[in-house]
Structure 1
Amino acid sequence: MDSTELAPNREAGPLLDTDVLRTFVAIAESGSFTRAAKQVFRTPSALSMQIKRLEEILGHVLFVREARRVRLTPEGEVLLGYGRRLLRLNEEAIRQFLSPVLEGRVSLGTSDDVGSRILPGVLAQFARSYPAVQVDVVVGSSQQNLDRLDAGELDMVLVTIGNEGQERRGEVVHTEPLVWAGREGGVAANRSPLPVALASHGCVWRRAALTALDDAHISYRVAYTCDNCFGQEAAMLSDLAVAPFPVSLVRPPLRKLDREGLPALVEYQIALVRGGSNPVNDALAGHVKDAFIDLR
C-alpha cells in the first residue's frame, strides 16, 4: 500500500465546536443575544465573540442585528438545520455510552397524520439509543387513543387539540397552521357548492373548516368523509374536493390554495399526554418532543 494513503489529511477544514453550535442555536431560537445568554449561562458579549469567530470560520454572516431582535440570514438558516442535527447526534452518542441500559416496553398512540411525519425518525433513533426497549404503536383517532390511555392500554398518546370546549390535557409539542389544499391545476376549488373532503366528526380540522366556510357564507358540500388524512389526500389528488390540511403535509402535486378566495383557517396544536412516568416512558417522550422541534 502506498504510504501516502495513511498520511493525515492536512487539508481538512476546521471542526464546528459543539459549545459554539449550542450558543448559535440558542440565539436563533430565542431571537436575542440577551435571552440566549441566560440559557447558556454566559454574558451577551461572550456570545457575540463566539458568533463573530464562527462567522469568520464559515466566511458568512449568520445574523442580521436589528433594533430589538436578531434574525437569521439565509446562510444562518442553513446552519441552523445542521446545528440542530449535530447537537442531537452528540446527545445521542453520549446517551449511548453514559445512560443506564434501559429494558422494557412502551406503547404510543397516535393519529395517522402525526405518525407519518415523525414516527419513522423517532423509532429509528430510539431503537439505536435503546435497543432493548420494545415500542408498540397504535394508530387511531385522538379520542380513541385517549380512551385507551385512560384504560391503561397505552403509556402515552399524541392528540390533536383545538376544539371549542375540549378538555386540555398533556403538553403542547407542536403548533401548525391549517390551510386549504387542492390539486395543482385542479378545478375543485372553483366549483359551487365547494366540494370538501373532511375527517370524521370530532376532528379539529373538520370543525375549523366548516366554521370558516359558514362565517364566510360560502356554500359547500361534504363530498368525502374519512377517518384519516390519507383519504382526504386521495380526494384532493383525484381533484374531487379541496380539504383543510396542515401546511407541512402539502406537497406536490398538491398545493396551498391561496388565490381562490377561501377563508383563512386557524392553527391547531398537538399535545403529548402521558399516563405515567418511568425511565422508559421518559426516554421515548424525550425523543418524540425532539422530533417536533426538528419540524419547526
Structure 2
Amino acid sequence: MTLPAFPVSNTALPLLDSDVLRTFVAIAESGSFTRAARQVFRTPSALSMQIKRLEETLGQSLFVREARQVRLTPEGEVLLSYGRRLLKLNEEAVTHFLTPPLEGTVRFGTPDDVGSRILPRVLAQFARSHPAVQVEVVVGRSIDMLERLDRGELDLALVTAGNEGLDSARGEIVHTEPLAWACLDGGVAHERSPLPLALANQGCAWRAMALSALDRSGVDYRVAYTSENCAGQEAALLADLAVAPLSLSLIRAPLRKLEANAGLPSIGEYQILLIRGAGTSSAGEVLAGHVAEAFRDLR
C-alpha cells in the first residue's frame, strides 16, 4: 500500500517526533505492537495511532501486519536506520547539557580482532558526548588485557571467553559469534594432509576450541604458523599456506569460509566479555555502556 505523499513545497518539511520514532523502533525490533507497548508503557491501540500518523506524514506504509507479527516494508527498513541514528543523536545532545560533565582518563584494553569492529564508532560517539575525557586504548592478547586489569593498569577490558585463567563469570557477555574455518578462495591449503593450521599463540580461546574440535573428529593436522594477532594468521591464509579458525565476521574476500563438505568439524561459538576493573569511574561506566551498545547493534 502506498499512501498519499506529503506535499513538497516551499514550506518547512514536517519534523519527526522523537517519541513516535522511539515507538516505531520498539515495534520494529520486537516484531509486535503488543510487546512494544509493554516496553514504552502504552496500549497497542495508542501505538497503532502513532504509526498511522507517521505513515501519513511520510506517505509510506512502514509495516506489513501479519497474523502473529509485524515486519518492516522496504521503506520501514530505511526509516529504522534513520530512526536509530536520530534517537542516538538526541540522546547525545540531551546528555551533553543535562548530565554532569565527565573528566579524567579511561584506560581501555582490547584484542585487535575484537576492538577493530567497534572502536571507531565507540570512540567517535564518546568523544562527541564527553570531550573532556581522555581514552587510552591498549591493544593486545586477551590474557594480557586480563593481567593488566588485575594490576590496576586498565579500567575496562574486552576479552575472549575461554582463554586460560579467565573465569567467564567475571564479565558481561556483550557478543556471541560462531567461529568458522577460513581459507584462501580458490586455494588448496585445506586439501593438504596433515592439515596446516595458522593459529594464535598458546592461551588463545580460538586456538583451544579449534584444536579440541579437530582432536574429537580425528582430523590429522599440524600447527604450521603462529601469531599473536589475526593479521599474522590472515597473512598465512592469503599465501595459501594454511587454514585458520576465525570469527565469521572477519572472513572477507579473498578469504572464504570452508563449508561442512570440506570434512572439517564445527568449532562452535565464542563469547566476548566486557570486564570492569575495581572502582571503575563514572567515565569508565559510560564508556562501557557505549561499548555494550555497539556490540548490540552488530546483531
TM over 0.5: yes
8 Å Cα contact 1:172/1:272 also seen in 2: yes
Is 1:221 the equivalent of 2:222? yes
Q: Secondary structure at the match of 2:271?
A: strand
Deviation of the 1:64 alpha carbon = 5.3
Q: When the two structures are aligned, how many residues end up with a matched partner? A: 288
Q: 1:83 to 1:234 in 2, by over 3 A?
A: farther
2:288 maps to 285
Kindly report structure 1 stretches of 4+ aligned residues shifted beyond 6 Å. none
Q: 1:210 to 1:66 in 2, by over 3 A?
A: farther
Unaligned runs of 5+ residues in structure 1 are 1-7
Q: 1:45 to 1:158 in 2, by over 3 A?
A: same
Q: 1:62 to 1:12 in 2, by over 3 A?
A: farther
8 Å Cα contact 1:63/1:76 also seen in 2: no
Is 1:260 the equivalent of 2:262? yes
8 Å Cα contact 2:63/2:70 also seen in 1: no
Unaligned runs of 5+ residues in structure 2 are 1-7
Q: Secondary structure at the match of 1:195?
A: strand
2:123 maps to 123
Q: 1:176 to 1:16 in 2, by over 3 A?
A: farther
Q: 1:41 to 1:152 in 2, by over 3 A?
A: same
Q: 1:191 to 1:48 in 2, by over 3 A?
A: farther
Aligned-pair RMSD on alpha carbons?
2.4
- d(CA) in 2 for partners of 1:177 and 1:244? 10
- d(CA) in 1 for partners of 2:284 and 2:165? 29
1:295 maps to 298
> For 1:221-244, what per-residue CA distance to the aligned partner results, in whole angstroms no more than 9, with x for missing partners?
212111111111111122111111
Deviation of the 1:65 alpha carbon = 2.8
- TM-score for the superposition, normalised by structure 1: 0.87
Deviation of the 1:129 alpha carbon = 1.4
1:171 maps to 172
Deviation of the 1:75 alpha carbon = 4.6
Percentage identity across aligned positions? 68
Alignment of 1:203-282 (within 5 A): 203-258=204-259, 260-275=262-277, 276-282=279-285
- TM-score for the superposition, normalised by structure 2: 0.87
Letter in 2 for 1:185: G
- d(CA) in 2 for partners of 1:54 and 1:193? 61
Q: Secondary structure at the match of 2:262?
A: coil
8 Å Cα contact 2:199/2:226 also seen in 1: yes
